[in-house]
Amino acid sequence: MKKGRLVLNIIAIALFIGLLFLFRMTFDSYKMKILNLCGIYIILGLSLNLINGFTGLFSLGHAGFMAVGAYTAGLLTMSPAMKEMNFFMKPIVPFLAEVEWPFFPALLMAGVISALMGFLIGSPVLKLKDDYLAIATLGFSEIIRVIFTNTQSLTNGALGLKGLPIYTNIWWSWGAAIFTILFMVFLIKGSYGKALKAIREDEIAAEAMGINLFKHKVMSFTMGAFFAGIGGALLGNLLGTIDPNMFRFVLTFNILLIVVLGGIGSITGTVISAVVVTVAMEALRVLDETVNLGFVTIQGIPGMRMVIFSILLMIVILFYQQGLMGTKEFTWDWFFNGKGFRKTLKKEVK
């Protein structure tokens, strides 16, 4: 990175932090919550994009990793008194009963445990390809959910956990989001990123070039799981309650929607679409409610919002397969000269 660019990047981040201060002063708590969700969805979208977009592994197991992260952070940060209140069916396992960690180590632990799960799951299933991989990862995410529903003394089963301390604020969510963005940018620009993209384009050719396929795939999968765990932990400590049914396939689908709309394999695209989708999901709640315009009342139809989103996704898939950004990224050159986005290798259509 050239020195001028570095200065520009730092200025941009500083400006953005200033903007966050401004939002914090002017927004009410509802808007702040949406802002937090934007940051969290950026993390989740980027982590899925690393696996699906940059490495070309079609994984549908994100909800499972998020569940692991959310439960880890939740159990570590909850106060012992709160735990006693939650676990009235069966007492909690002794080694967790008295634990109360600050948020940062709990967050890291959530990522690490989730990454460990990713590693354990990834090592066997990454031998599979395409749709087999998709269905196997989906299977694992369902297994995690079923296990969490049944381990009463560890996760409180189907009752879920209530009264998680609300640690997540915009500094945590957006701090983690900015860290994730920077991490991804450096990762993708570096030699590892090039290797991952080579695997995406052509596995056999990549292997012939001396790339250890299995090692890189497992690495990408584990890192994706790490950030998914962080995202899940932030989400859990933002909402204050978690239960296994939150982490159904629909959640993975929402993140997939963000990745596809933004462009599979573009960091910029994912960031933009994460913000747009999160805000739009809230804004379109209007569709579910009855609107009274004074002279005419439009009857809202509950559930219409998700129909609109599904149709939107189908239109993008059928007509704009590249999504918002394709595989292009934002650059300062484009910003100053309007010379067009930096072109990266287009995905070969077979």
Contact residues: other proteins, CB under 8 A: 52, 56, 58, 124-125, 127-128, 130-132, 134-136, 138-140, 142-143, 146-147, 149-150, 204, 249-250, 253, 256, 260, 264, 301-304, 306-307, 309-311, 313-314, 317-318, 321, 347, 349-350
**CA 47, CA 72: separation in Å to the nearest integer?**
18
Give the separation between CA 151 and CA 157, rounded to whole angstroms: 6
- Nearer to other proteins by Cβ, of 241 and 245: the residue is 245
* Residue among 119, 286, 328 at smallest CA distance from 218: 119
Give the nearer residue to other proteins in terms of CB position, either 103 or 221: 221
By C-beta, is 142 or 289 nearer to other proteins?
Answer: 142
Give the nearest distance from C-beta 316 to other proteins in angstroms. 9
Smallest separation (angstroms) from other proteins to the CB of 99: 26
Tell the smallest beta-carbon distance from residue 321 to other proteins (Å).
6
For other proteins, the closer of residues 19 and 298 by Cβ is 298
How many Cβ atoms from other residues are within 10 Å of residue 233's Cβ? 36
Query: Of 208 and 296, which has the nearer Cβ to other proteins?
Result: 208
CA-to-CA distance for 276 and 37, rounded, in angstroms?
A: 11
Q: How many residues does the chain have?
A: 350
User: For residues 31 and 127, which CB has a smaller minimum distance to other proteins in the complex?
Assistant: 127
Q: How near is the Cβ of 268 to other proteins at its closest, in Å?
A: 20
- DSSP 3-state percent helix, strand, coil across the chain (nearest 5): 75, 0, 25
Residue-wise DSSP of 124-157 = HHTTS-HHHHHHHHHHHHHHHHHHHHH-HHHH-G
- Residue closer to other proteins (CB basis): 119 or 183: 119
- In the complex, the smallest distance separating the C-beta of residue 125 from other proteins, rounded to whole angstroms, is 7
Least CB distance from residue 43 to other proteins, whole Å? 21
214: nearest Cα among 201, 195, 227, 191 = 195
Query: Which candidate, 267, 259, 236, places its Cα nearest to that of 77?
Result: 236
For residue 245, the minimal CB distance to other proteins (Å) is 12
Euclidean distance between CA atoms 244 and 145, whole angstroms: 6
- Contact of 112 with 226, CB cutoff 8 Å: yes
Angle at 325 between CA 324 and CA 331, to 5 degrees: 140
Least separation in angstroms between residue 310's CB and other proteins is 4
Question: Is the CB of 151 or the CB of 169 nearer to other proteins?
Answer: 151
